[in-house]
């Protein structure tokens, strides 16, 4: 049963989209199992850039079937627009290639307005959500009052349920948040239009994935966000609302516990995050600009979904080791090593100091309170001047760049199999066997 899983080993934005695109060349199915359109996966093919928020990144390959799992929360308007964007780019989007789980939860415009109102009410304590309605949709899901994608199959019944949903949120927005209220008629019109478009794609997806695995087809499961944003294992409360780790695959796709052939952890060669929360290795000023870029090209550190500049810092090995253990990561895919070219020395966090005592994060928990007390302890590694972007052979890398990779491998106890040195599809260096 060849199940491969790709997870983010940091706070998201690690470059999973291009990793899934690469690994999907040998996959029969690529499947998203968590999150919603707060995720932004970017794939660069030639001079075309695909920014995907719901559809699995590997769907761009013509032989691959795409699945949106039941662990997701789906904004139908975003999905319809994304499907049309892919069609305009020449990608075949048909009901025999794309399946949407009937048990996936629904995001409505009312959820998005509620998200914005709740975040604004926090004033100085904002979490830093994307404002896409993810949290309110998951709240409705766990309180058992949420709507599911499968309800769209009966438009008359769906309209009644939608009216009930909009009335409830409209009342709360007006009474609790002094909001002027919803345009319920317009929202209902658009939602019903999208429901009619999506109906042919809606089905049970668990049997599809289970049958593929039994037939020894390759299933590539794609996580959204990163390990440190996991609702249970991340830097709570500065987390997302879903299971972002490898464990979420089984419930998020509706399959039994199946041994994974590999769990690929995607990590940048440095650290980034979007939104609020503790960040021990964060840098500011000129150092931040050097890592982030100016925003002049898509490779710079600005959110795919939000456009916000990402917070940046040096690689945090205690957090990376934590992600390896939580996910059962078997190999690392290191992205953006090329960004570190030009630094004389590269600090890398190897431990923390908390209340005068040296600790690893794995001795504590990953919540925001514990991490907020941590002072990073750095080891400085020698840098390199060479531009890695044209290189396609690991042996071409300068010795100090190879030393940086080896330091990460030794600290984490798993191999780095591939390294990206640019946004292009072919800007990946295979390290296996070196």
The b/e string for 88-113 (b: 16+ C-beta within 10 A; e otherwise) is eeebebeeeebbbbbbbbbbbbbbbb
Active site residue 13: yes
- Give, in degrees to the nearest 5, the angle at Cα 292 between 286 and 294: 80
Residues contacting 316, CB < 8 A, separation 6+: 271, 280, 281, 349, 376
What is the end-to-end Cα distance of the chain in Å, rounded? 28
* Nearest Cα residue to 244 out of 258, 259, 231: 231
Q: Which two tokens stand for residue 17?
A: 């989209």
Pairwise CA distance, residues 28 & 67, whole Å: 11
Give the whole-angstrom CA distance, residue 132 versus residue 113. Answer: 9
Q: d(Cα 34, Cα 13) in Å, to the nearest integer?
A: 15
CA 278 to chain centre: 19
Partner residues linked to 74 by β-bridges:
106
Q: Based on C-alpha coordinates, what's the Rg of the chain?
A: 22
The token pair at 382 is 């020698």
Catalytic residue among 4, 41, 111, 230: 41
Residue that the structure tokens 């066997």 belong to: 433
Question: Among this protein's residues, is 41 annotated catalytic?
Answer: yes
CA-CA distances (angstroms) from residue 154 to 100, 151, 157, 203, 257?
16, 6, 6, 13, 33
110 and 166 Cβ atoms separated by less than 8 Å: yes
What CA–CA distance (Å, rounded) separates 19 from 14?
9
The active-site residue, picked from 4, 13, 37, 316, is: 13
Strand, helix or coil for residue 201: helix
Question: φ and ψ at 124, to 5 degrees?
Answer: -80, 0
Question: How far apart are the C-alpha atoms of 186 and 204, rounded to whole Å?
Answer: 30
Among 325, 279, 231, 291, CA closest to 9: 325
Just list the catalytic residues: 13, 41
């Amino acid at each position: 049963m060849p199940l491969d899983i790709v997870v983010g080993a940091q706070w998201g934005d690690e470059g999973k989209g291009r990793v899934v695109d690469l690994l999907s060349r040998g996959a029969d199915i690529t499947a998203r199992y968590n999150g919603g359109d707060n995720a932004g996966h970017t794939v660069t093919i030639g001079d075309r850039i695909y920014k995907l928020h719901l559809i699995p990144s590997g769907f761009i390959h013509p032989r691959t079937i795409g699945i949106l799992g039941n662990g997701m929360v789906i904004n139908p308007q975003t999905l319809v627009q994304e499907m049309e964007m892919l069609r305009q780019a020449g990608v075949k989007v048909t009901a025999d290639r794309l399946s949407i789980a009937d048990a996936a939860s629904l995001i409505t415009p009312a959820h998005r307005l509620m998200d914005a109102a709740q975040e604004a009410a926090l004033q100085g304590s904002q979490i830093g959500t994307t404002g896409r309605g993810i949290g309110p949709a998951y709240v409705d899901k766990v309180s058992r009052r949420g709507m599911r994608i499968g309800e769209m199959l009966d438009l008359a019944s769906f309209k009644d349920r939608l009216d009930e949903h909009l009335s409830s949120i409209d009342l709360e927005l007006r009474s609790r948040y002094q909001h002027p209220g919803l345009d319920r008629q317009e929202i209902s019109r658009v939602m019903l239009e999208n429901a009619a478009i999506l109906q042919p794609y809606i089905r049970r997806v668990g049997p599809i994935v289970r049958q593929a695995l039994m037939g020894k087809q390759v299933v590539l499961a794609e996580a959204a966000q990163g390990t440190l944003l996991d609702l249970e294992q991340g830097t709570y409360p500065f987390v997302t609302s879903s299971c972002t780790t490898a464990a979420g695959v089984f419930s998020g796709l509706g399959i039994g516990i199946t041994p994974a052939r590999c769990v690929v952890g995607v990590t940048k060669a440095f650290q980034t995050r979007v939104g609020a929360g503790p960040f021990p290795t964060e840098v500011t000023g000129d150092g931040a600009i050097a890592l982030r870029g100016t925003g002049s090209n898509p490779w710079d550190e600005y959110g795919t979904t939000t456009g916000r500049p990402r917070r940046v810092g040096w690689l945090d090995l205690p957090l990376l080791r934590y992600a390896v253990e939580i996910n059962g990561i078997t190999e690392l895919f290191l992205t953006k090593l090329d960004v570190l070219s030009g630094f004389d020395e590269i600090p890398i966090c190897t431990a923390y100091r908390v209340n005068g005592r040296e600790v690893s994060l794995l001795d504590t928990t990953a919540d925001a309170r514990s991490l907020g007390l941590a002072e990073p302890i750095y080891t400085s590694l020698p840098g390199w001047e060479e531009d890695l972007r044209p290189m396609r052979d690991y042996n071409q890398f300068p010795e100090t760049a190879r030393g940086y990779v080896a330091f990460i491998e030794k600290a984490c106890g798993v191999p780095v199999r591939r390294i990206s040195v640019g946004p292009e599809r072919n800007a990946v260096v295979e390290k296996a066997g070196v």
